[in-house]
Amino acid sequence: MKIKIQFFGPLTEICNLNEFDLDGDPDTNKLLERLKEMYPAFNTAVFAVAVNNQLVQENLQLRENDIVSLLPPFSGG
């Protein structure tokens, strides 16, 4: 199952990429665990998670071709 992972702002510096495809994990918790193993700097990074442009607060089951975005803190005006 392919999942697209997108990084924004300073999070792109952790892995030197804006996005990449990953053979998927079954849910957002497993995916985040995997990313933290691949890029230990994510263990201390602060970010929000969105799946298909919707912010998620809890563990979410992932499906083929989902887009998971890691978003740094932001403020608006």
pLDDT digits over 18-71, tens only? 999 999 789 999 999 999 999 999 999 999 999 999 999 999 999 999 999 999
What is the C-alpha separation between 61 and 16, in angstroms, rounded? 27
Q: Comparing 77 with 33, which gets the higher pLDDT?
A: 33
Tokens at residue 68, please?
Answer: 């998971």
pLDDT of residue 74: 78
Coil, strand or helix at 31:
helix
pLDDT of residue 58: 95
Pairing of strands 2-7, 19-23: antiparallel
> Please, what are the domains in the chain?
2-71 (3.10.20.30)
